[in-house]
Amino acid sequence: MSVNLSESDQAYLNGEQGPAAASAMRVIVRLAEAMGASELLDVSSAHIDSCLYHGPAVLDFAKWLEDQGGKVKIPTTLNVSSLDLIHPDLYRGDSHWGEQARLLMDSYERMGCKPTWTCAPYQLEERPNFGDQVAWAESNAIVFANSVLGARTHRYGDFIDICAAICGRAPAAGLHLDQNRKGEILFRIKGINESLLDRDVFYPVLGHLVGKCTGSAIPVIQGLPNEVSEDRLKALGAAAASSGSVGMFHAVGITPEAPTLEEAFLGLTPREVIDVTIDKIISARDELSTVSDFKVGAVSLGTPHYSIQEIQKLSQLFDGRSVNPEIKFYVSTGRDVLTEASLRGLVEPLEKAGVIFVTDTCTYITPIIEDVARPVITDSAKWAYYAPGNLGVEVIFAAVEDCVTSAVSGSFSADNSIWMDG
């Protein structure tokens, strides 16, 4: 399908904005053709995942764009990188790899991107509004923007993201369009007790189950409490985007495009209905652990990056206790959030208790965790899903309350009563 281009689009292709902009527009047009889009649309912001160093090709592409005069046209934030620039001593990887990663970070900054270095750009002061068309990469950021904010982005990946940022355009296709945002599969919460529904740990487990059953379709979840915090929706979406390829979900009566079940499905009938029972939830929970009842080596929280509210809760959970000397306790968060948490007096007491804050990156990507011979406990379904393959580490998934209790004692301890039916 040929794409109808505006005069401005054609000017980009003709090189009137420079060779980098012309190349970026060529990529976007070819993508539009592949997606069957008849035209392009303006995007008001971008979030870049290409700044994470995976090898020479990533740096080569960024350097080529920069050397050819590439500059972002719209406000553009940067995802996690491969380094923690605030705490450089935490990096335990190859020195050459680290040097290349820093060159990549610098290149994106020089192209005009904001050095936010967070996988949770929706926690920043400026974020998209309902209905805004954006070009975001990073799976959890995509699903949050679409689902919770009601902004519109397709699932963009490396290289597409920076090209959209340079020309300010994206294909008028996929999740940018009304008809592609309707629900397809209905998940009905059945027989889950109210106490569990009011626990943070329920939401990443639900997300893991939903992603597995959904793939790349759009799930609709019915039966959640009327008010669910952004942190819980964040955990749900991040897990669903990991175990599946979910780019958007609807929670009836909660997310902005699903005030009713009928509106979530745009008046159509779901192609499948799945009842979410306690047995299915427990099974999904168990899939997130590779071992149980084991002496642990570390705790890793904050995938996606911890918010102010999550750091505040962590502070309350410690309540004067300290991490066992044999345990390393890592919390990943955005640098902006860490600054705010510090101003609120939350950071220093936690650090004194043995918490190690990690910014700009994530511990399942960058070699930071010192002891990977023993299992790591996490409250993140996303971390639990990816870390065994990335780090070769055994993982125990648990509620944040259990993570803290285990870190203090030195051995895994869990309150299984919260998973009781009834």
pLDDT in tens, 27-75: 999 999 999 999 999 999 999 999 999 999 999 999 999 999 999 999 9
In a domain, 249, yes or no: yes
Residue 29 has, within 13 A of its CA and on its CB side, a CA count of 18
Q: Are 305 and 141 in contact (CB under 8 A)?
A: no
pTM (whole model) above 0.85: yes
pLDDT of residue 199: 97
From CA 138, how far away is CA 376, in angstroms rounded? 24
Mean pLDDT of the chain: 96
Q: What tokens appear for 103 in the block?
A: 């060159």
Count CB-CB contacts under 10 A for residue 121. 28
Q: Which of 228-232, 292-296, 313-317 has the lowest mean pLDDT?
A: 292-296
Length of the chain: 422
pLDDT of residue 1: 63
Clarify whether residues 166 and 29 are in a common domain. Answer: yes
In a domain, 420, yes or no: no
With tokens 């080596």, the residue in question is 297
Q: Are 286 and 273 in contact (CB under 8 A)?
A: no
Last residue of a domain, one of 265, 286, 307: 286
**Neighbour order of strands in the sheet with 76-78:** 76-78, 46-48, 135-136
From CA 422, how far away is CA 190, in angstroms rounded? 11
Q: Are strands 46-48 and 135-136 parallel, antiparallel or unpaired?
A: parallel
Last residue of a domain, one of 151, 178, 205: 178
Clarify whether residues 22 and 165 are in a common domain. Answer: yes
DSSP string, 235-253: HHHHHHHHHS--S--EETT
Query: What letter would DSSP give residue 156?
Result: B
In a domain, 216, yes or no: yes
Q: Are 391 and 350 in contact (CB under 8 A)?
A: no
With tokens 């649309």, the residue in question is 41
pLDDT classification of 421: cutoffs 50, 70, 90: low
pLDDT digit string, tens, across residues 125-184: 999 999 999 999 999 999 999 999 999 999 998 999 999 999 999 999 999 999 999 999
Clarify whether residues 278 and 312 are in a common domain. Answer: no
pLDDT classification of 371: cutoffs 50, 70, 90: confident
In a domain, 92, yes or no: yes
Clarify whether residues 24 and 158 are in a common domain. Answer: yes
From CA 378, how far away is CA 289, in angstroms rounded? 9
pLDDT of residue 422: 45
From CA 96, how far away is CA 67, in angstroms rounded? 22
Clarify whether residues 37 and 48 are in a common domain. Answer: yes
Q: Give the residue among 7, 10, 3, 8 at the shortest CA–CA distance from 29.
A: 3
In a domain, 54, yes or no: yes
From CA 55, how far away is CA 131, in angstroms rounded? 36
In a domain, 303, yes or no: yes
From CA 347, how far away is CA 414, in angstroms rounded? 26
Q: What is the mean pLDDT of residues 385-405?
A: 96
Clarify whether residues 36 and 168 are in a common domain. Answer: yes
Clarify whether residues 255 and 298 are in a common domain. Answer: no
Q: Are 72 and 112 in contact (CB under 8 A)?
A: yes
From CA 120, how far away is CA 199, in angstroms rounded? 21
Clarify whether residues 249 and 294 are in a common domain. Answer: no
Clarify whether residues 163 and 118 are in a common domain. Answer: yes
In a domain, 132, yes or no: yes
C-alpha torsion 48→50→51→55, nearest 10: 170
From CA 109, how far away is CA 287, in angstroms rounded? 39
Q: Give bridge partners of residue 272 from the DSSP assignment.
A: 185
In the chain, the amino acid numbered 142 is I
Q: Is 105 left (phi over 0), alpha (psi -120 to 50) or beta?
A: alpha
In a domain, 421, yes or no: no
Residue 323 sits in a domain whose CATH number is 3.30.499.10
Last residue of a domain, one of 127, 149, 178: 178
Q: Give the residue among 136, 118, 135 at the shortest CA–CA distance from 340.
A: 118
Q: Give the residue among 110, 268, 304 at the shortest CA–CA distance from 181.
A: 268
Clarify whether residues 131 and 63 are in a common domain. Answer: yes
Clarify whether residues 70 and 211 are in a common domain. Answer: no
Domain count, the chain: 3
Domain that residue 116 falls in: 7-178
Clarify whether residues 334 and 389 are in a common domain. Answer: yes
Helix axes 19-35, 160-167, angle to 10 degrees: 120
